[in-house]
Amino acid sequence: MARIAYHDTDAEAFAATRHLTDDGLTAWRSAVTRHLAPRPGTRLLDLGAGTGSWARAFTSWFPGLDVVAVEPSTAMRARCAFAPLVAGDAGHLPLAAGSVDGAWLSTVVHHVPDLAVAARELRRVVRQGAPVLIRSAFAGRHRAITLFRYFPEAVRVLDTFPSVAEVEAAFLGAGFTAAAVVEQVPQVTAPSLREAAAGLRREAHTPLQLITDAEYAAGVRRLREAARVDTGPVVDALDLLVLR
Protein backbone atom coordinates (compact mmCIF):
# COMPACT_ATOMS: atom_id res chain seq x y z
CA MET A 1 0.00 0.00 0.00
CA ALA A 2 1.03 3.66 -0.39
CA ARG A 3 2.98 5.37 2.39
CA ILE A 4 -0.03 7.61 2.98
CA ALA A 5 -3.65 6.70 2.38
CA TYR A 6 -4.71 9.47 -0.03
CA HIS A 7 -8.19 9.60 1.44
CA ASP A 8 -10.34 12.71 0.91
CA THR A 9 -8.28 15.12 3.05
CA ASP A 10 -4.99 14.15 1.42
CA ALA A 11 -6.43 14.22 -2.08
CA GLU A 12 -8.08 17.60 -1.53
CA ALA A 13 -4.82 19.09 -0.21
CA PHE A 14 -2.88 17.65 -3.14
CA ALA A 15 -5.35 19.05 -5.66
CA ALA A 16 -5.27 22.47 -3.99
CA THR A 17 -1.51 22.93 -3.66
CA ARG A 18 0.61 20.59 -5.77
CA HIS A 19 -0.23 21.71 -9.33
CA LEU A 20 2.51 23.69 -11.06
CA THR A 21 1.82 26.72 -13.25
CA ASP A 22 2.68 26.79 -16.96
CA ASP A 23 5.89 28.67 -16.10
CA GLY A 24 6.77 26.06 -13.53
CA LEU A 25 6.36 23.30 -16.10
CA THR A 26 8.55 24.77 -18.86
CA ALA A 27 11.68 22.73 -18.18
CA TRP A 28 9.64 19.56 -17.70
CA ARG A 29 8.08 20.00 -21.13
CA SER A 30 11.56 20.19 -22.67
CA ALA A 31 12.77 17.14 -20.75
CA VAL A 32 9.77 15.01 -21.70
CA THR A 33 10.14 16.04 -25.34
CA ARG A 34 13.81 14.99 -25.38
CA HIS A 35 13.25 11.56 -23.93
CA LEU A 36 9.81 10.62 -25.26
CA ALA A 37 9.92 12.29 -28.70
CA PRO A 38 6.09 12.39 -28.78
CA ARG A 39 4.16 12.52 -32.03
CA PRO A 40 0.48 12.14 -32.93
CA GLY A 41 -0.65 8.64 -32.00
CA THR A 42 2.00 8.11 -29.29
CA ARG A 43 0.32 6.34 -26.36
CA LEU A 44 1.60 7.34 -22.92
CA LEU A 45 0.74 5.71 -19.60
CA ASP A 46 0.45 8.20 -16.72
CA LEU A 47 0.80 5.87 -13.75
CA GLY A 48 -0.35 7.33 -10.45
CA ALA A 49 -2.06 10.14 -12.35
CA GLY A 50 -3.55 11.69 -9.20
CA THR A 51 -5.78 14.62 -10.05
CA GLY A 52 -4.74 14.58 -13.71
CA SER A 53 -2.53 17.68 -13.91
CA TRP A 54 0.26 15.95 -15.81
CA ALA A 55 -2.10 14.16 -18.18
CA ARG A 56 -3.74 17.48 -19.00
CA ALA A 57 -0.36 19.12 -19.54
CA PHE A 58 0.81 16.36 -21.89
CA THR A 59 -2.27 16.55 -24.09
CA SER A 60 -1.95 20.34 -24.21
CA TRP A 61 1.74 20.24 -25.11
CA PHE A 62 1.59 17.42 -27.63
CA PRO A 63 -1.50 17.42 -29.89
CA GLY A 64 -2.54 13.91 -30.84
CA LEU A 65 -0.84 12.29 -27.85
CA ASP A 66 -2.97 9.50 -26.37
CA VAL A 67 -2.65 9.52 -22.57
CA VAL A 68 -4.02 6.68 -20.45
CA ALA A 69 -4.24 7.75 -16.80
CA VAL A 70 -4.12 5.03 -14.12
CA GLU A 71 -4.72 5.90 -10.46
CA PRO A 72 -5.26 3.59 -7.46
CA SER A 73 -6.81 6.11 -5.05
CA THR A 74 -10.59 6.47 -5.17
CA ALA A 75 -10.34 9.96 -3.63
CA MET A 76 -7.83 11.08 -6.26
CA ARG A 77 -9.91 9.66 -9.09
CA ALA A 78 -12.92 11.57 -7.79
CA ARG A 79 -10.96 14.82 -8.20
CA CYS A 80 -9.45 14.02 -11.59
CA ALA A 81 -10.81 16.00 -14.51
CA PHE A 82 -8.90 13.96 -17.10
CA ALA A 83 -10.29 11.05 -19.11
CA PRO A 84 -9.76 8.23 -19.80
CA LEU A 85 -8.98 7.47 -16.18
CA VAL A 86 -8.92 3.90 -14.92
CA ALA A 87 -8.39 2.24 -11.56
CA GLY A 88 -5.17 0.29 -11.21
CA ASP A 89 -1.80 0.28 -9.53
CA ALA A 90 1.83 -0.38 -10.37
CA GLY A 91 1.50 -4.07 -9.65
CA HIS A 92 -1.71 -4.54 -11.66
CA LEU A 93 -1.86 -2.43 -14.81
CA PRO A 94 -5.14 -2.79 -16.74
CA LEU A 95 -3.36 -2.68 -20.09
CA ALA A 96 -2.41 -5.16 -22.78
CA ALA A 97 1.17 -6.26 -23.33
CA GLY A 98 3.25 -3.83 -25.37
CA SER A 99 0.34 -1.41 -25.63
CA VAL A 100 2.03 1.88 -24.64
CA ASP A 101 4.90 3.89 -26.11
CA GLY A 102 6.12 5.19 -22.79
CA ALA A 103 5.23 5.61 -19.13
CA TRP A 104 5.29 8.59 -16.79
CA LEU A 105 5.46 8.27 -12.99
CA SER A 106 5.48 11.56 -11.07
CA THR A 107 6.22 11.46 -7.32
CA VAL A 108 4.87 7.92 -7.30
CA VAL A 109 7.77 5.51 -6.99
CA HIS A 110 8.15 5.90 -3.21
CA HIS A 111 4.56 4.66 -2.79
CA VAL A 112 5.19 1.44 -4.74
CA PRO A 113 5.38 -1.45 -2.25
CA ASP A 114 7.39 -3.78 -4.52
CA LEU A 115 9.62 -2.16 -7.11
CA ALA A 116 10.47 -5.49 -8.74
CA VAL A 117 6.80 -6.31 -9.35
CA ALA A 118 6.13 -2.82 -10.69
CA ALA A 119 9.12 -2.97 -13.00
CA ARG A 120 7.95 -6.31 -14.41
CA GLU A 121 4.46 -4.90 -15.03
CA LEU A 122 5.91 -1.88 -16.79
CA ARG A 123 8.18 -4.13 -18.84
CA ARG A 124 5.06 -6.03 -19.89
CA VAL A 125 3.00 -3.03 -21.05
CA VAL A 126 5.70 -0.68 -22.40
CA ARG A 127 6.92 -1.58 -25.87
CA GLN A 128 10.57 -2.60 -26.21
CA GLY A 129 12.94 0.36 -26.30
CA ALA A 130 10.33 2.90 -25.18
CA PRO A 131 11.08 5.04 -22.11
CA VAL A 132 9.82 4.95 -18.57
CA LEU A 133 10.17 8.46 -17.13
CA ILE A 134 10.24 8.70 -13.34
CA ARG A 135 9.97 12.17 -11.77
CA SER A 136 10.83 11.94 -8.10
CA ALA A 137 12.77 12.95 -5.05
CA PHE A 138 15.12 10.05 -4.39
CA ALA A 139 16.91 9.01 -1.22
CA GLY A 140 20.04 11.07 -0.64
CA ARG A 141 19.08 13.74 -3.20
CA HIS A 142 17.27 16.47 -1.25
CA ARG A 143 19.58 19.46 -1.54
CA ALA A 144 17.85 21.12 -4.50
CA ILE A 145 14.39 20.93 -2.89
CA THR A 146 13.37 23.96 -0.83
CA LEU A 147 11.01 22.06 1.46
CA PHE A 148 13.87 20.19 3.13
CA ARG A 149 15.71 23.44 3.91
CA TYR A 150 12.97 24.38 6.36
CA PHE A 151 11.93 20.86 7.37
CA PRO A 152 15.33 19.13 7.76
CA GLU A 153 13.70 16.44 9.91
CA ALA A 154 11.85 15.30 6.78
CA VAL A 155 15.16 14.27 5.19
CA ARG A 156 15.07 11.11 7.31
CA VAL A 157 11.74 10.23 5.64
CA LEU A 158 13.13 10.97 2.18
CA ASP A 159 16.06 8.70 2.92
CA THR A 160 13.65 5.78 3.27
CA PHE A 161 12.49 6.40 -0.33
CA PRO A 162 14.05 4.29 -3.09
CA SER A 163 17.43 5.47 -4.31
CA VAL A 164 18.29 5.96 -7.96
CA ALA A 165 20.45 2.83 -7.78
CA GLU A 166 17.64 0.74 -6.26
CA VAL A 167 15.15 1.78 -8.93
CA GLU A 168 17.66 1.15 -11.70
CA ALA A 169 18.46 -2.31 -10.30
CA ALA A 170 14.76 -3.26 -10.15
CA PHE A 171 14.20 -2.22 -13.76
CA LEU A 172 17.32 -3.89 -15.11
CA GLY A 173 16.24 -7.03 -13.27
CA ALA A 174 12.88 -6.86 -15.04
CA GLY A 175 14.43 -6.78 -18.50
CA PHE A 176 15.04 -3.11 -19.20
CA THR A 177 18.40 -3.16 -20.92
CA ALA A 178 19.76 0.36 -21.25
CA ALA A 179 21.53 2.11 -18.40
CA ALA A 180 19.42 4.70 -16.63
CA VAL A 181 19.72 8.38 -17.41
CA VAL A 182 19.17 10.79 -14.51
CA GLU A 183 18.99 14.57 -14.69
CA GLN A 184 17.81 17.32 -12.38
CA VAL A 185 14.98 19.38 -13.86
CA PRO A 186 14.29 22.84 -12.41
CA GLN A 187 10.78 24.06 -11.74
CA VAL A 188 9.21 27.22 -10.34
CA THR A 189 7.27 25.73 -7.44
CA ALA A 190 5.84 29.02 -6.15
CA PRO A 191 6.04 32.70 -7.12
CA SER A 192 7.56 33.53 -3.72
CA LEU A 193 8.45 31.93 -0.42
CA ARG A 194 5.65 33.95 1.17
CA GLU A 195 3.09 32.34 -1.15
CA ALA A 196 4.65 28.91 -0.59
CA ALA A 197 4.28 29.36 3.17
CA ALA A 198 0.72 30.63 2.90
CA GLY A 199 -0.35 27.72 0.71
CA LEU A 200 1.48 24.92 2.52
CA ARG A 201 -0.70 21.91 3.34
CA ARG A 202 0.93 19.18 5.38
CA GLU A 203 -1.43 16.55 3.94
CA ALA A 204 -0.10 17.19 0.43
CA HIS A 205 3.48 16.13 1.21
CA THR A 206 4.36 12.59 2.25
CA PRO A 207 7.60 13.56 4.10
CA LEU A 208 5.71 16.15 6.16
CA GLN A 209 2.98 13.71 7.14
CA LEU A 210 5.58 11.29 8.45
CA ILE A 211 7.46 13.61 10.82
CA THR A 212 6.23 14.49 14.30
CA ASP A 213 3.80 17.32 15.01
CA ALA A 214 6.54 19.19 16.90
CA GLU A 215 8.94 18.84 14.00
CA TYR A 216 6.31 20.06 11.56
CA ALA A 217 5.50 23.08 13.75
CA ALA A 218 9.20 23.99 14.00
CA GLY A 219 9.52 23.80 10.22
CA VAL A 220 6.50 26.04 9.69
CA ARG A 221 8.08 28.63 12.01
CA ARG A 222 11.34 28.50 10.03
CA LEU A 223 9.52 28.82 6.74
CA ARG A 224 7.38 31.77 7.85
CA GLU A 225 10.37 33.58 9.30
CA ALA A 226 12.33 33.17 6.07
CA ALA A 227 9.33 34.24 4.00
CA ARG A 228 9.38 37.66 5.70
CA VAL A 229 12.63 38.58 3.91
CA ASP A 230 12.95 36.20 0.94
CA THR A 231 10.82 37.60 -1.89
CA GLY A 232 12.17 35.68 -4.89
CA PRO A 233 10.49 32.74 -6.63
CA VAL A 234 10.84 29.25 -5.19
CA VAL A 235 12.86 27.21 -7.68
CA ASP A 236 13.33 23.53 -6.95
CA ALA A 237 14.89 20.71 -8.91
CA LEU A 238 13.49 17.18 -8.92
CA ASP A 239 15.15 14.24 -10.58
CA LEU A 240 14.04 12.69 -13.84
CA LEU A 241 15.14 9.07 -14.13
CA VAL A 242 14.73 7.53 -17.58
CA LEU A 243 14.87 3.78 -18.21
CA ARG A 244 14.44 1.85 -21.46
For the chain, which domains are there? 8-145+158-188+235-243 (3.40.50.150)
Contacts of 97 (CB under 8 A, 6+ apart): 124, 125
* CA pair distance 33, 133, nearest whole angstrom: 11
Q: What is the pLDDT of residue 165?
A: 95
Is the bond leading into 84 cis (omega within 30 degrees of zero)? yes
Asked if residues 109 and 169 have their Cβ atoms less than 8 Å apart, the reply is no
Q: What is the pLDDT of residue 18?
A: 77
Nearest to 38 by CA among 104, 128, 136, 106: 104
Q: What is the pLDDT along the chain (244 residues), one digit of tens a residue?
A: 467 667 778 778 787 777 788 778 999 999 999 999 999 999 999 999 999 999 999 999 999 999 999 999 999 999 998 998 999 999 999 999 999 999 999 999 999 999 999 999 999 999 999 999 999 999 999 999 999 999 999 999 999 999 999 999 999 999 998 778 899 999 999 999 999 999 999 999 999 999 999 999 999 999 999 999 988 899 999 999 999 9
Q: pTM of the predicted model, to two decimals?
A: 0.93
Angle between helix 53-61 and 26-36 (nearest 10):
70
List of E strands, 48-178: 66-71, 85-87, 103-106, 132-136
CA 31 to chain centre: 14
H/E segment holding residue 78:
helix 74-78
